Amino acid sequence: NPDMVAKGSIVVDGRKALTRGMRKFGDKFGRIGLWVMNSDTYFDIVDDAITKQIYGESEIVIYGGLPGTLGKPVLVTDAVGDNDAFGLQYGAVT
């Protein structure tokens, strides 16, 4: 659905690129259960958290493997394009 496409770049916009995508869901944003992105995008998020040394997050990134993806798990696959990330909800893939 083209109306659900949000423009942004993790490198330029940081995690605001993810929140732009969440906004497309309106008050149903909580239905996003999983982010899907390639490894470059994932590590851009990790690098951003380490660089900014966000309180309590850089330790999680290093030791826990959970970057600042707004509490959502991430499926990392290089089958996804370099500039794409998908916020999936239950039933999105059948």
Whole-prediction pTM: 0.75
> Is the confidence at residue 64, as pLDDT, over 80?
no
Q: Which residues contact 53 (CB under 8 A, 6 or more apart)?
A: none
Give the residues across from 89 on adjacent strands: 32
User: Across the chain, what does the average pLDDT equal?
Assistant: 81
Name the residue ranges covered by the structural domains of the chain: 7-84
**What share of the chain has pLDDT > 90, as a percent?**
12
**What is the mean pLDDT of the segment spanning 52-75?**
64
Give the residues across from 85 on adjacent strands: 37
Dist CA 82 CA 60 (whole Å): 25
pLDDT band for position 13 (cuts 50, 70, 90): confident
Q: Residues 26-40: pLDDT tens digits? A: 999 999 988 899 999
**What is the mean pLDDT of the segment spanning 66-87?**
83
pLDDT for the residue 52: 73
Rg (Cα) of the chain, in Å, rounded?
13
